[in-house]
Structure 1
Amino acid sequence: MSLAIPDALQRWRLLLGEASQGALGGLAGEALAADAALEWLYGRDPERALRGERSGGLEPSQLTTPDWINDVHRLFPQEVIERLERDAVERYGITEVVTNLDVLERIPPSQSLLRAVLQTKHLMNPDVLAAARRIVAAVVRQLLEKLATEVRQAFAGPRDRRRRSSLKIARNFDFVRTLRGNLARWDRERGRLFVERLHFMSRSRRHVQRWDLILLIDQSGSMVDSVIHSAVMAACLWNLPGMQTRLVAFDTSVVDLTQDVADPVELLMKVQLGGGTDIARAVAYAQSCVANPARTMIVLVSDFYEGGDAGELVRRVQALVQAGCRVLGLAALDADARPNYDRETAARLVKVGAQVGAMTPGELAGWIAEKVKQ
């Protein structure tokens, strides 16, 4: 069942919202219920407050998320339902929507949906969780395809013109040798060179000695995008020759997830977002894992809002740097690299020798590759 088509004035009233009620009149019946459902969602728009519009009234009582889902399915046609549910998740971050199996299966996989799944998976029953896992797998597969290319490019050594390669990819293309090898097929009349065979160069390897990479990932809710990209990044680095990758998630406790690094879907489904933050405890765990400081990189992905002892955090980072470890603090590791972080704590870490910034996954791959070359 869906909302019966109202008359023209009521349609305009639904479209323009509560601010138009004085001019267009009130609503009744299912039109009133539809208006309440639309107001529940779009009343959250911060631009309405700037325009001086009222929002979020819906007296005498406020809809709950399950009530809203039920009303939307009762009152609107299918194409409207899909748009409302997508806006709820992607535009307004109403992540409870994805605990509904029907909704979860209708919204196309995206990073916005993945964020919502990770934030609400603890609320899901087994059937919903199985659907959520499929969404996680689909989005992770998309990210892996992109990041794997960036990682390969960062770790590929310089081209070696003395050696040929059977790997036919654009960045290895040998233009000079290809031109020279096909000059006999130059057509003077047409002014064209007909190429029969393409030539490609090999690349020298950038590293031969083993390096240890320890990724410390803050699980606080504000770091969800960085958690996603860290998991995928670790999977991309896992099989690189000479690179041993360890991934550790933390809040007030520390969980070593290294056994799941090769399976980022499983890893993300084990991450528990939210809770407090004890960065010093995570860094202490990293210290216990260091075997060869001169060939160890520690990447701390956090907003640096320390819930534990900030002084201890600074002392431990200083000890790692003095021992010879490369320590990188990332306030964001995602596609945008636009962080919100505690600048005071970050500045203290810089003073004791850490590098601090925000990076995209591709930039992190380049940073790691550069340190490996040294």
Structure 2
Amino acid sequence: MSEAESNERDRLTRWRLVLGGNEADGIGQGTDGSGGVALSAADAKRDAALSDLYDGRRRAGLGSSAPKVARWLGDIRSYFPSSVVQVMQTDAMHRLGLSQLLLEPELLKAVQPDINLVSTLIGLGRVIPEHSRETARAVVRAVTDQLEERLRAKTVQSINGALNRAARTRRPKLADVDWNRTIAANLKHYQPEYKTIVPERLVGFGRRTTQVERQIILCIDQSGSMAESIVFSSVFGAVLASLRSVSTRLVVFDTAVVDLTDELEDPVDILFGVQLGGGTDINQALAYCQGLIAAPNDTVLVLISDLYEGGIADDMLRRAAAIVGSGATMIALLALSDSGRPSFDADHAAALAGIGVPAFACTPDQFPDLMAAAIERRDINAWAAANDIVTSHTESGSTHSS
């Protein structure tokens, strides 16, 4: 077979897998070379896995058989790359209603852990039976461990760096002089005859202590649309809680407020303490968080919500204005996720921006730098603009943000 013929065969095979088996379209599976594209044994298994999920003409789908679903999950992990497996698993949740089947431990063991699966499991929450709970926790832990490995180093570096910069002084004690920065700042004062620099000013760091230097409060909306944001927030909360120089509180809310700070050491405990769904009372949550603020000038409050307030919006805005007026830094994250442009209440986002609460969506990889900017009390809108993040202050007439 020539290279051109081989390439053509590969092209037809791909179309065959995309479109399914239909003899009328000329690319159905042939058995003798005359009826379209003859699939290899491996491609035939890929085709079968795709057909079980996407071919609506088949009468025999996956149905409600957990063993068959478990085999199917094993097949797609064998024949498709990880990124495709995640898409197919997510589609299976919606098309085939597999959420209830995920309560079975043998099925959970077959599935590939990803953030969409974790979102589904925390949505099922308290209905997961006892015999499946440990398996479900293992699945969730696999994802949170992976996310923590991805995000921990940058978060620790960004937060510690911001605290160091915030403590920097131009009148340091001798032991606290940062000589590299001092030399760089005084190169113009080099004295050739003495072959030395006579520094006009010293740059250094204030004496660091083991005391808490900043308070960070993560206030998270636990409505169903915020599931992915909750997953990332739990990981960041655990990382921040490991820093002795930062006091971290984590609060989740719907129409009630739950303080999960005691669970911060373990993101899995946080996620299984969340109850997705229900109403939304942001004002009540902010009232609780306001009561936690002991030193406003050293406090960063991050409200993570789509801002669809079910309570009294004017009270929410007055509460936010009071928090900002006290000297605390407050930020509204419309989403903390990799999923793109979220839906949110644009009017409330704009109103918060008007009282000094920047409102925008943020990816997990940007969050450490955002917290660093907040700790240093930099202009958050300027930081967002420098990082090509659209805020409610810069975006007009839209109900979405990036």
TM-score, structure 1 normalization: 0.68
Match of 2:171 in 1: none
1:108 equivalenced with 2:104 (yes/no): no
Quickly say closer, same or farther: Cα 1:337–1:364, change in 2 above 3 A: farther
Structure 1: segments with no counterpart, 5+ residues: 1-11, 25-34, 44-55, 164-201
1:269 alignment partner in structure 2: 272
Distance 2:73 2:226 in 1: 36
Aligned to 1:89: 89
In the other structure, the counterpart of 2:253 is 250
For structure 1, which segment, 301-310 or 209-218, has the greater mean C-alpha deviation from structure 2 after superposition? 209-218
Shift of 1:58: 7.7
1:328-343 paired onto structure 2 within 5 Å: 328-336=331-339, 338-343=341-346
Q: 2:138 maps to which residue?
A: 134
Counterparts of residues 235-314 of structure 1 (less than 5 Å): 235-314=238-317
| Conservation of the 8 A alpha-carbon contact between 1:212 and 1:296 | yes
Judging changes above 3 Å, is the alpha-carbon distance between structure 1 residues 118 and 222 closer, same or farther for their aligned structure 2 residues?
A: same
Q: CA deviation at 1:206?
A: 8.0
Aligned to 1:373: 376
Q: How does 1:316-355 map to 2 (within 5 A)?
A: 316-336=319-339, 338-355=341-358
Shift of 1:338: 3.3
CA distance in structure 2 between the partners assigned to 1:251 and 1:277 by the alignment: 4
* Distance of 1:36 and 1:20 partners within structure 2: 16
Change (3 A) 1:77 1:109: closer
Change (3 A) 1:73 1:102: closer
Cα distance change, pair 64–110 in 1 and its aligned pair in 2 (3 A): closer
> CA 1:303 to 1:78, structure 2 compared with 1: closer, same or farther past 3 Å?
closer
1:79 equivalenced with 2:75 (yes/no):
yes
Whether the 8 Å CA contact 2:302–2:333 is kept in 1: the answer is yes
> Is the 1:214–1:245 contact (alpha carbons within 8 Å) kept by the matching residues of 2?
yes
* Secondary structure of the structure 2 residue equivalent to 1:248: strand
The Cα offsets for residues 96-130 of structure 1, whole Å up to 9 and x where unpaired, read as 14222222101232223222222223332212111
Secondary structure at the counterpart of residue 113 of structure 2: coil
Q: Whole-Å Cα distance in 1 between the matches of residues 296 and 64 of structure 2?
A: 53
What amino acid maps onto 1:151 in structure 2?
Answer: T
**Any conservation in 1 of the 2:324–2:357 contact (CA below 8 Å)?**
yes
Secondary structure of the residue aligned to 1:338 is: coil
Q: What are the residue-to-residue correspondences of 1:158-177 with 2, within 5 Å?
A: none
- How far apart are residue 231 of structure 1 and its match? 0.6
1:210 CA drift (Å): 2.4
8 Å Cα contact 2:73-2:111 kept in structure 1: no
Q: Which residue of 2 aligns with 1:42?
A: 54
How much does 1:205 deviate? 8.0
Partner of 2:190: none
Report the Cα offset of residue 215 of structure 1: 0.7
Aligned-pair Cα RMSD in Å: 3.8
Q: What's the counterpart of residue 28 of structure 1?
A: none
**In the alignment, which residue of structure 1 is the partner of 2:185?**
none
Equivalent AA in structure 1 for residue 312 of structure 2: D
Offset of 1:358 from its aligned partner? 1.5
Q: Which letter does structure 2 place at the counterpart of 1:41?
A: L
| 1:269 maps to amino acid | F
Which residue type is aligned with residue 64 of structure 2?
P
Native 8 Å contact 1:82 1:106 kept in 2: no
Secondary structure at the aligned position of 2:366 is classed as: helix
SS in 2 for 1:216: strand
Cα distance change of structure 1 residues 334 and 86 upon mapping to structure 2, 3 Å threshold: closer
Q: Structure 2 CA distance, aligned partners of 1:276 and 1:220? A: 7
Determine if the alignment matches structure 1 residue 99 to structure 2 residue 97: no
Choose the corresponding residue for 1:150, options 148, 151, 154: 154
SS at match of 2:287: helix
The residue identity in structure 1 corresponding to 2:89 is V
Asked if 2 retains the 8 angstrom alpha-carbon contact of 1:13 and 1:21, the reply is no
Q: Secondary structure at the match of 1:240?
A: coil
What's the CA shift for 1:357?
1.2
Identify the residue that residue 126 of structure 2 maps to in structure 1.
Answer: 122
Query: Given the alignment, which residue of 57, 64, 75 partners 1:66?
Result: 64
**Residue-pair matches, total:** 304
Shift of 1:299: 0.3
Quick check: 1:217–1:249 contact (8 Å CA) kept in 2? yes
